[in-house]
Structure 1
Amino acid sequence: MIARQLTDCLHPDDRIDPGKSGPQAMRRVTMNVAESPVQWLASRGLLTEAQCRAGERLRADYERAGLAARVTMRWDAAPPAKVRGGARAADASLARIDAQRRFHGALEAVGPGLADICWRVICAGEGIAGAEKGLGWPARSGKLVLGLALDRLARFYGVG
């Protein structure tokens, strides 16, 4: 199994507590690169490092913002208890709001024609062939269009 740490995709704005300055403790996430279409393309030399990082940043913002469909009930949505630690829930909410703003700003920067393939491949984890078919595009056009979209994402996130 191929796994890698996703620490290089973090941005200074991704802090847990926006009220504190300087670096803060963040959790490390290990992922299977075979599950990410962006990582799969990058491992075959079809994407540049900047494109790969931009795609992973968009995916991280999408997941941090909680925009994915839920399969089960959210147990963390219960009102916070009247004990210590209530501020941490507020910090998590602020981080989620910031991630939503970055995500929507990134898709707006990419543009309406390119945002569709970004969402399908990067966020929904759909393969390029499936995205081409779903969008009604000709075969083998998705890699080129995704590359253009990732270039715009890299400019938006400042990684390219």
Structure 2
Amino acid sequence: MTTRHFVTRLHPDDRVDPGRAGPQVMRHVTVNVAESPLAWLAARGMVSDAQYRAGERLRTDYERAGLAGRVTMRWDAAPPSKSRGGARAADASLARIDAHRRFHAAVEHVGPGLADICWRVICAGEGIGGAEKALGWPSRSGKLVLTLALDRLARFYGTG
């Protein structure tokens, strides 16, 4: 069983505007940094802030695109008709398509050798040790390869 380690941080969507004077309203959220292997590495200073943000953007695109396998049946209601707010369903579909395109473009930008570790650690939430074993890599090589992949992701997403 993993232990929970909660940290209060600023919400990622709330950015400080240096050109704006006076107090700025920002939300504080409590985050379980033990939630993902990438967050665990970031909490210990093993990846830079730009690398962490790029990895989180990849994971967000992966989740928004709906690429993860479903565990249960979909219980969503049928999409509303065009006359009753069908545009909202279309917007959601377009957001999903955009996330799908961004995810695949990011993985292609990272490259075939580095994309495997990105998908396993960032998207699937697999530990680095397990990813090394599954990929047949030597012990303690996964973190180095992951940081190289995160550097490429940071260039792609413009976070670094």
TM-score range, shorter chain: 0.7 to 0.9
Query: Do the aligned partners of residues 155 and 102 (structure 1) sit closer, same or farther apart at CA in structure 2, a change above 3 Å counting?
Result: same
**1:52-91 equivalences in 2 (<5 Å):** 52-76=52-76, 78-81=78-81, 84-91=84-91
Counterpart Cα distance in 2 of 1:108 and 1:9: 26
- Number of the residue aligned with 2:49: 49
Moved segments of 4+, more than 6 Å: none
Counterpart Cα distance in 2 of 1:120 and 1:35: 15
Structure-1-length-normalised TM-score: 0.81
Structure-2-length-normalised TM-score: 0.81
Counterpart Cα distance in 2 of 1:141 and 1:71: 32
Query: Do the aligned partners of residues 4 and 87 (structure 1) sit closer, same or farther apart at CA in structure 2, a change above 3 Å counting?
Result: farther
Counterpart Cα distance in 2 of 1:104 and 1:6: 29
Counterpart Cα distance in 2 of 1:6 and 1:135: 36
- Number of the residue aligned with 2:109: 109
- Aligned residues: CA RMSD: 2.2
**Number of residue equivalences:** 143
Task: From 2, 6, 15, give the equivalent of 1:2.
Answer: 6
Indicate conservation of the 8 Å contact 1:9/1:57, yes or no: no
Indicate conservation of the 8 Å contact 1:55/1:153, yes or no: yes
Counterpart Cα distance in 2 of 1:3 and 1:79: 38
SS of the residue corresponding to residue 118 of structure 1 reads: helix
CA offset at residue 9 of structure 1? 6.4
Unaligned runs of 5+ in 2: 15-28
SS of the residue corresponding to residue 137 of structure 1 reads: coil
Unaligned runs of 5+ in 1: 11-28
Counterpart Cα distance in 1 of 2:136 and 2:13: 32
Query: Do the aligned partners of residues 88 and 156 (structure 1) sit closer, same or farther apart at CA in structure 2, a change above 3 Å counting?
Result: same
- Number of the residue aligned with 1:155: 155
Query: Do the aligned partners of residues 94 and 72 (structure 1) sit closer, same or farther apart at CA in structure 2, a change above 3 Å counting?
Result: same
Flag the structure with larger Rg: 2
Letter in 2 for 1:2: F
Alignment identity in percent?
78
